[in-house]
Amino acid sequence: MNWITTEIKDRLAYITINRTEKRNALNEEVVLELLQALKDAENNHSVKVIILTGAGNTFCAGADLEYLKKLQGNSYEENLKDSMQLMELYKTIYTLSKIVIAQVNGHAIAGGCGLVTVCDFAFSVADANYGYTETRIGFIPAIVMTFLVRKIGEARAKELLLTGNVINAQHALTDGLINYIVEDETELTKKVYEFAQELCVNNSAQSIATTKKMLADIQNMSLSESLTYGAEMNAKARGSEDCKKGIDAFLNKKILKW
């Protein structure tokens, strides 16, 4: 069944989890379809920014608990294969060369909160709740923690992951989990579109892709290694066509639209 829909307009790919009867919960089929949709958008040259959202009034309620119950009868090897698929989904979003924006139209819980975590930006309606609630059902937030510690730091990540507390959008904003809060879904759609269009018009896709890659890479390097890496990438960027085009436009006071 097709749980994921994609709409492309104005250089934006809107990818929607469309499983409203389960509050857009994740199972194997949803994860695999979402992975494919993201890869298709990545390879589509008419797309510059990807927007991830949920149908109805929920962003994503996390893992389908009925699906998790079924998995309890699996072998370790079978469960590892399933876990690796979720890992691949998070990693794909995090490492895509294109910017991914979470358009959070409602609650984002457990695995759904994980999706928000790995996006580059997150816009939220004011009444959305967030939480990594896995420890409250005897499960663990095993895959998302790597990304959450990177995003908000260990102390705040510990508070969220170990308590399983559900927090409101303002708390999520303060913690650095999300970037912007708007009042309702109409305003959400408008603000995300405007923000995405600014990225499309004002920023080089090549520069965005390289910067995203470097941000992911440097966190595993020593200070010396990351600085050397930065110097090397800086030198390479100077010879790129986008850099030449951008500097020429700036010096000659041209209006440049990427």
- Just list the catalytic residues: 134
Coil, helix or strand for 128?
coil
> Quick count: other Cβ atoms within 10 Å of Cβ 251?
8
CA 172 – CA 135 distance, rounded (Å): 19
Q: Residue 91's Cα: distance from chain center in Å?
A: 9
Q: Is 129 left (phi over 0), alpha (psi -120 to 50) or beta?
A: beta
Contacts of 228 (CB under 8 A, 6+ apart): none
Distances (CA, A) of 109 to 13, 154, 179, 213: 23, 20, 17, 27
> Quick count: other Cβ atoms within 10 Å of Cβ 155?
8
